[in-house]
Amino acid sequence: MIVISAASGALGRLVIEYLRSRTEVVAAVRDPGRAPEGVPARRGDYDDPASLREAFDGAARLLLISSPELDTPRRIEQHLNAVTAAKEAGVGAVVFTSFLGAGAGTTGMTEAYHATEQAVIRSGLPYTFLRHPFYSDAFVPRVVEGEITSSTGGRGLNTAFRSDLAEAAANVLTGEGHLGRAYDFTGPLWSYPEVAEALGVPYREVPDAGPGPMSWINAQIRAGLLEQQTDDLEGVLGRPAVTVAAQVRTIAFP
């Protein structure tokens, strides 16, 4: 049996769709009323360790999907609750959705992921870390008034679509040879000017709209910090990952 934590979220639902025809899968959710349809559901709240132990009971493998909590100390506490519960429940192996850079990053955005990876290692549980990039879904360019604009300085992005990352997670959960490994997942490198050229529309660089998460991310992109590339995602998928240009063509020319 495979248990998917935080299964009511977008990633968890996609993973379950890939798994439901392959193996026995259980959704662990904070609110059973929001559980995905078609699979058994158990209450598993990251803030309630007892519920997690019950939700994880009998799991051969657990997909520990990272908490959406933005406060780092609280997110770490929630993840540690889940790791402890997995150990106490006798889970066979933990697959954790981490983030690129978490292997070494102990501050900033990767702090909670790094702390969780270390907690999983200390637990002694067999594990696999799936270090995700940013989701392409949030960055897909839109043609507005005949042009594409961004504040990325024309630099590359290594984002990947949530659906590809979900399929990769399902493959790891049901496959062999993944334990003890940390995968750095990156999608095919792309840029806004390249997508504009592929669509035959102009590209224009614009200033950031103002302070906020996207302004920070744009600064990271302009600094070339999202240009890391590996073949881990393609290797786990057994096929090339979906490109942003292909997805944009589908949207622009359905």
Q: Domain-by-domain residue ranges, the chain? A: 1-132
CATH of 1-132, one of 3.40.50.920, 3.40.50.300, 3.40.50.720, 1.10.3720.10: 3.40.50.720
> For 199-246, what is each residue's pLDDT tens digit?
999 999 999 987 788 899 999 999 999 999 999 999 999 999 999 988
> For 146-181, what is each residue's pLDDT tens digit?
999 999 999 999 999 999 999 999 999 999 999 999
pTM: 0.95
252 has pLDDT over 90: no
User: Computed over its alpha carbons, how large is the radius of gyration of the chain?
Assistant: 19
Alpha-carbon span 3 to 25, nearest angstrom = 6
